Structure formats: C-alpha cells, structure tokens
C-alpha cells in the first residue's frame, strides 16, 4: 500500500484537461471520472489512487498528507497559501486573475471589492497602497457591481464571455493562472521515486515544459 501514490484531482473545469494530460503521459486515469459519484478511484495498474476534491480543497488534502500530490490552479494556490511544494506548471486551464468593473467606473474613497479570493485581492490592493473593503462571495461575482454591492470585483477571466454578457470590462490583470502539480513535503521525500517518475512522464508531454 505504501507505494501507492495518492493524487488529489480537482472536480470541474480542470479535471478533463488534467485527465487528458495524464492520458497523454501514459497514465490510465479515466477521462469520464466525473460521470459517476465515486470520490476515490484506484488505478492499481499505475499504482495510483485518485481522490476527487473540490478545487479549493486540493492544497488542504496535500498539506495534510492525505494526498501525496495534487493538481490545482495557481489562483487557489495564491489564495490558500498552503505549505506544499509546487513541482510543475502543467500549462492547462489557462486564464487570468483580474480587477473588473463597469466601463464608467470612477475611483472612489475606500471602494468595495467583491471576490472569491479575499487574500489575493487584499494583498494586491495593499501592495498598490490602495485602501479597499473586500467582500467575500462564493460565486456569480459579476453580479456585485451590477446590483451595487461592490464598486469593482477581483475574479478569474478565461474567455471573457461572462464579462461581455454582463457589460463589464477587465481593468487590471493581476497574474496569469495555469494548473500546477503540487506535493506534500513529507511524501516528496518518502515517495520521491514515484513522484519524480510522474513528473518526468508529465513533463515529457507538456506543451511548454514547466519545471518550477
């Protein structure tokens, strides 16, 4: 059992792209894992076990060592700030974190900023020396400036479609986002051979090789 590698995979938009990459690397992870309701999927032929987690929880599973490694977006990594190793930039699920507002937005004193990423937003405006009130929301962030809850929002932009359909504009880009392979610090030492092997296999099929 010890040499089984436990991999936390994010459910949702990243999963399919990650599964495709793992497949390309010769790892027989089911591509339709999400169609069922199972949360733990053993793949004994690859000596792996996949744990399907909410994306925001992946670094938590990895930090606590219940998963040896995980796939997670840079957005979640920046927000959660967990004690894990970042091993590889997988180059998938590419998007960006941005400040967004209405086209006629004008600076006000102590503006309200709504976001799913309160730590990222607070740090960004602190570093710019701007005082803001950050309001944490859990989804549909684009609503906030439309209904007067916030002056601006900090959110992920992928295709820009959500902004377009809601008459919002991207004002400042904060950072680029891609998915990363992360590892538990103890697992990285104890299971170094299998983690390294996995990294090598993935790296060989990455569009832009991404050792960090």
Q: How far is the CB of 157 from ligand PRP (least distance, A)?
A: 5
Q: How far is the CB of 137 from ligand PRP (least distance, A)?
A: 9
- By CB under 6 A, is residue 91 in contact with ligand PRP? no
Per rule CB under 6 A, count of chain residues that contact ligand PRP: 13
Characterize the bridge pairing of strands 69-73 and 5-10: parallel
Is residue 54 within 8 Å of residue 34, measured between CB atoms?
A: no
- By CB under 6 A, is residue 158 in contact with ligand PRP? yes
- By CB under 6 A, is residue 156 in contact with ligand PRP? yes
Q: How far is the CB of 58 from ligand PRP (least distance, A)?
A: 15
- By CB under 6 A, is residue 14 in contact with ligand PRP? no
- Taking CA atoms, 68 is separated from 12, 43, 58, 163, 189, in Å, by 20, 15, 11, 37, 10
**φ/ψ bin of 146: left (φ > 0), alpha (ψ from -120 to 50), beta (otherwise):** alpha
Torsion sign over Cα 145, 147, 149, 155 = negative
Q: How far is the CB of 21 from ligand PRP (least distance, A)?
A: 20
Which tokens is 151 given? 């002056």
- By CB under 6 A, is residue 147 in contact with ligand PRP? no
Interface pick for ligand PRP out of 33, 56, 149, 157 (rule CB under 6 A): 157
- By CB under 6 A, is residue 161 in contact with ligand PRP? yes
- By CB under 6 A, is residue 141 in contact with ligand PRP? yes
DSSP states of 60-88: HHHHTTSSSEEEEEHHHHHHH--S-EEEE
| Residues that bind ligand PRP in the complex, under the rule CB under 6 A | 116, 139-142, 155-162
């Amino acid at each position: 059992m010890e040499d089984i590698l436990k991999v936390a995979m994010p459910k949702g938009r990243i999963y399919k792209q990650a599964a495709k990459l793992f497949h390309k690397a010769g790892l027989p992870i089911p591509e339709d894992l999400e169609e069922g309701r199972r949360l733990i999927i053993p793949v004994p032929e690859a000596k792996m076990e996949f744990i399907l987690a909410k994306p925001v929880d992946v670094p938590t599973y990895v930090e606590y060592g219940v998963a040896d490694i995980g796939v997670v977006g840079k957005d979640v990594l920046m927000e959660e700030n967990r004690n894990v190793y970042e091993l590889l930039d997988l180059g998938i699920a590419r998007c960006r974190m941005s400040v967004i507002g209405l086209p006629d937005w004008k600076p006000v004193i102590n503006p309200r900023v709504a976001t799913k990423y309160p730590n990222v937003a607070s740090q960004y405006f602190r570093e710019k020396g701007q005082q803001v009130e950050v309001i944490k929301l859990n989804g549909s962030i684009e609503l906030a400036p439309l209904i007067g809850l916030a002056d601006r929002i900090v959110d992920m932009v992928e295709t820009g479609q959500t902004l377009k359909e809601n008459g919002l504009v991207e004002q400042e880009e904060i950072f680029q986002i891609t998915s990363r392979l992360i590892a538990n610090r103890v697992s990285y030492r104890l299971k170094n051979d299998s983690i390294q092997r996995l990294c090598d296999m993935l790296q060989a099929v990455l569009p832009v090789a991404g050792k960090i």
